Amino acid sequence: MARRLFSDMDADVALALGNRADFDAAKRGFTLDSAYFYVANAIRHNELETAVDIGLGIGEDTITLPADFWFPEFVKNATDDLEIEPREVRTTESVSKPAGNPGIYVRWGHTFLFDRRPTAAKAIRVWYTKRPAEPAGTASSVLDSLYDQLIVMFAIKFSLEQLRDWNQAAQMDKAITAFGSRLKVPWRMTRTDHRGASVQVRTR
């Protein structure tokens, strides 16, 4: 069976909304984008998990992250097999940096900053979640096809919330909870019944 395209998902959202003239394709596109990235972020996906070794040169304290980097899962000095722990930027940038093996990293923009400057080149291994490409009508989701319907359901919910149809949005939220339970969805954090915090998503 052919995989659902994003254009198919948009058609499903339009149908669920009764093809309303006051919620056109552009507005549906915004909610479908939001739903796609929400599902990508809120759930662990094998398709988005990867790792890379990045060189940290002698006397350097910064590495540039891959273009598809979204957020880190674990970081270590692979050369010496030592974990590097995350901290806030004040931790590394408010003091002078001594020579030595980095033990702390800070994400800043599209870089990692470290608390120490090595005296020998190091390989920094970064396990991270990739940010999927923006949805396009002729493309399919990079996530498992099991989540196609969940993306549509969140897009419908977000659309109803924009239309201020709170009762129908609440009903869709209940349907999402039931659907997720049947799928045994591996949420990153626990879903709640609170409309404003349907899924508590880590965004570090």
Give the CB-side neighbour count of residue 203, counting CA atoms within 13 A.
6
**pLDDT category of residue 189 using cuts at 50, 70 and 90:** low
**pLDDT category of residue 137 using cuts at 50, 70 and 90:** confident
Alpha-carbon gap, residue 189 to 198, rounded angstroms: 10
Alpha-carbon gap, residue 167 to 6, rounded angstroms: 26
Residue 1's pLDDT is 60
Mean predicted confidence (pLDDT) in 41-53: 95
Q: Which residues, 6+ apart, have CB-to-CB distance to 42 below 8 Å?
A: 187, 188, 189, 199, 201
Q: Is the pLDDT of residue 201 over 80?
A: no
Q: Which of 107, 178, 136 is nearest to 36 (CA)?
A: 136
Does 68 or 193 have the greater pLDDT score? Answer: 68
pLDDT digits (tens, 9 = 90+) for 6-16: 999 999 999 99
Query: Cα-atom radius of gyration of the chain, to the nearest Å?
Result: 21
Structure tokens at 187: 């949420």
Cα→Cα distances 164→23, 104, 203, Å: 12, 45, 26
Residue 197's pLDDT is 44
Cα→Cα distances 173→43, 126, 134, 195, 196, Å: 16, 35, 24, 8, 11
pLDDT digits (tens, 9 = 90+) for 89-118: 998 899 999 999 999 999 999 999 999 999
- CA angle (54, 60, 62) in 5-degree steps: 55
Cα→Cα distances 95→87, 92, 106, 109, Å: 14, 6, 14, 20
Least confident residue range of 28-37, 78-87, 121-130, 183-192 = 183-192
Q: Is the pLDDT of residue 203 over 70?
A: no
pLDDT digits (tens, 9 = 90+) for 140-174: 999 999 999 999 999 999 999 999 999 999 999 99
